[in-house]
A and B are shown apart, each in its own frame.
Chain A
C-alpha cells in the first residue's frame, strides 16, 4: 500500500515515515502543496496523509482541488490547528478522517489502515476481540476456546458489538441490525440479550466484558489490558 505523506517539518516527516514503513506501508514524502499535487497526478497513491499548514498554501485547498478533479483517494488530515470550531476545514473540505497533532505514528498507521479497508472490514468472516471469535458465515461464536451457546439473535447482537469492539455500539444501531422492521423489540429485549451474552461469556471464563452505557448503548471491552 502506498502512502503519500505531505508534511513540511523534516523531523516529523522522518518519524512518521518510519512509523508507517514499520507498519508495512510504502511511503513517499513531499513537503509542499505543489509537490503533492504533482505527485498525486503522476503516481496515484492509495492514501494521503496531509498536514494542513504547508509553506506554499493551505492543505485544505489541495483537498478541494483533488476532489474537484474527481479523485477519491482517501485523505487523512493531520493538523496542529485543531481547535474549538475549525475542525470544519478538515472534514467538511472533503477529507475522510482527521487527527490533531501530536499523534503517535502507530495511530496514523492504524487510521490509514482503517481508511483503506473501510468497505472491506465489514465483510470479514471471522471477527475477533480479546479471546472471543465469531464466524459470521457459520453464525457460531467461541470464547477462550469454548463454544458459546447463543441463539441466532444473540449471535447477531454479539456480532455488532464485536465489529465495534472498544467503542460504544448505540442501541439504535444494534436494534436496526438485529430486528426486522415489523418485529419491534420490547423495551427490555436488548438488555435481556446482553444478560444472556454476559452469562455465556462468564461461563466460558472469557476476559471480555460488556458494559452498559446508559442512555446510549453498549460497549464490548476486550479486557486483558
Chain B
C-alpha cells in the first residue's frame, strides 16, 4: 500500500493542471506577447506619471515637479531614461537627460493635429523608444516627452507581469481551480463503490461473520476482483455454517448417550461404581471441552454486544467459590466499578471459567486464586501455583498440550478455548508471571466505544449467582 488511491489520483491530476497552466503562460509569453508594444506602453506609463507632476503656482504660472519615483529613475539612470516638459512654443519647462530624446519626438509645429506621438528611433546606443503627449491645463497646452534608450530598471518586465496577471493568470485561475475540483470530485465519485467495498471487507472478520462485499456500481475491472473475492467468501461462509451445524449435531449426538450412561449409573449400586462414575464424569468434561473448543473456532461476536467484565468476574467467582472450597482453595474477586467491553457475556464467562479451573488445578492447597477486572478491559486470573515457564507459554495455547501429561488432570483445552474466545472478540490472552510467584493469565477485550454508554450490561439471569454484584467489598472482606 502506498496511501489512498483517491489521494494519489487527486494529487497527480492537480499537478498536471499546474504544469499545463505554466506551459500555457510560457507559450503566451514567447509567441503572443508584443514586446515592442509593451515597451511603448512602459514609456507611455512614465508620461502619465509625469503629467501628475504638473501644477499651476500661486502666481498663475505653470510649474513642474517630477514625482519622486520618476525623478529617482532619472537620477539613477542618466544614460537610459529622459524626460522633457515643454510649453506650446517648444520652450522647455523641465528637462533631464534630454540628450537621449530623438528629435522626431519633439514636434516642431504646435501640435494642432496631433494629440500624442509615440514610436521608436535608431540611436547610437541602440533603439530609443519614446512617447510624447499633449496635455491641456487650463488654457495652456504642454508637451510631455519620455524616452528610454535602454531598460536597466526593468520597467518592461513590470508591465509584462502586470499584463500576465491581468490577462492570463486571472482569467485562467478560476478555470484551473474548477478543473482541480472537478478532478477530485470525479475521482472520489468513481472510487466510492471501491471504498465502500473496502470498508465492508474491513468490517467483516470480527463481528458480522461472512457477508458478500457490495459489487454494485463498481467499474468492470474492480468488479471482477470483488466477485472473485465474494465467491471465495461464499465458500467460506458455507463452510462456517456447515461447521456450526456439525457442532450442534455433534453436541447432541455425544451428550445424549453420555446422559443415558450417567443416568443408568446413577441408579445402580455395587462395588466399583464410584470409579465408573468418575470415568463418565471425566469423559463428559472432555466432550464438553471439545465441543466448546469447536464452537470457539466459529464464534462471532455481534458488534453491538456489550457486557460488564466486572460483573462477569464477580458472578463467576460466586458460582465457582463452592467448587474452590471443596478443593481446599480460596477464590476472590477484585474490581472497582463496571468495565464495559464489546462482547458476549456468556462466551467471556466461559473463557474465564476455563482460566479459573486451570488456576484452581495448579494452585497450591490453601492458596487463593484471584479474579480481577481491570479498567482497561482486562479480566485476569492469578494463582500461587508453579507458574508457566516463558518457554512453554506459546505451547500452552495449543490444543491438547499439557504441562504434566499423565497426571490425569484436564484435557489441555482450557487455555486454547479462552484464547480463541478472546480472539473472536478482537482481544488476546496473555500469560505472565505473578509477582511473588505463580501465574497470571489475562484476557484482554476491546472496551466498548465511549459514545455508547454502559446501558446494556447483561441482566442477571443466573439464579444461583443472584446479584453477585460488584466489588463493593473488595477491600473490606478477607
**Residue of B264, B332, B470 touching A15 (CB-CB under 8 A):** B264
CB distance from B190 to the nearest CB of A (A): 42
Bound-state Cα–Cα, A88 to B463, Å: 15
Complex CA distance for A88 and B302, rounded to whole angstroms: 14
The interface size of chain A toward B, counting residues with CB under 8 Å, comes to 51
Report whether over half of chain A's contact residues are helix, strand or loop; otherwise say mixed: mixed
- Is B477 in the interface zone, CB < 8 Å from A? yes
B252 in the interface (beta carbon within 8 A): yes
* A130 proximity list for chain B (CB < 8 A): none
The answer to whether A214 and B322 touch across the interface, beta carbons within 8 angstroms, is no
Q: Are B477 and A84 in contact (CB under 8 A)?
A: no
- Among residues 234 to 283 in chain B, which have CB atoms less than 8 Å away from a CB atom of chain A? 247-248, 251-252, 254-256, 258-264, 266-267
Partner of A19, one of B266, B321, B350: B266
Query: Complex Cα distance A159/B454, Å?
Result: 34
**Bound Cα distance from A106 to B266, whole angstroms:** 8
B314 touches A84 (CB 8 A): no
Q: Across the interface, name the chain B residue whose C-beta is closest to A90.
A: B461
| Contact present for B295 and A84 (CB under 8 Å) | yes
Report A-chain residues with C-beta under 8 Å of the C-beta of B318. Answer: 167-168, 170, 213, 216-217
Tell me if A81 and B333 are in contact (CB < 8 A): no
Whole-angstrom distance between the Cβ of B471 and the nearest chain A Cβ: 5
- Residue A224 at the chain B interface, CB threshold 8 Å: no
Contact A166 B333 (CB under 8 A): no
Q: Is B296 a contact partner of A84 (Cβ separation < 8 A)?
A: yes
Verify B477–A215 contact, CB threshold 8 A: yes
Question: With A and B bound together, what is the CA distance between A105 and B267 in angstroms?
Answer: 9
What residues of chain B lie closer than 8 Å to A218, measured between beta carbons?
477
Please choose the segment from A35-43, A96-104, A150-158 that sits at the chain B interface, where 4 or more of its residues have CB less than 8 A away: A96-104
A206 CB to closest chain B CB (Å) equals: 16
Among B299, B334, B468, B475, point to the contact of A84 (Cβ < 8 A). B299
User: Which of A80, A81, A212 has most chain B Cβ within 10 Å?
Assistant: A80
A 84-128 to B, binary, CB cutoff 8 A, 1 in contact else 0: 110110011000010011111110000000000000000000000
Taking A84-B292, A170-B466 as given, write out 12 further A-B residue pairs in contact, using a Cβ cutoff of 8 Å, ordered by the A residue number: A9-B256, A19-B263, A85-B344, A102-B263, A168-B319, A170-B318, A211-B330, A213-B318, A214-B474, A215-B332, A215-B471, A221-B322
Top 9 A-B pairs, shortest CB-CB distance = A215-B333, A214-B332, A102-B259, A15-B263, A80-B255, A168-B318, A101-B255, A80-B252, A171-B473
Q: Which residues of chain A have a CB within 8 Å of any CB of chain B? A: 9, 11-12, 15-16, 18-19, 53, 80-85, 87-88, 91-92, 97, 100-106, 164, 166-173, 175, 187-188, 190-191, 211-219, 221, 225
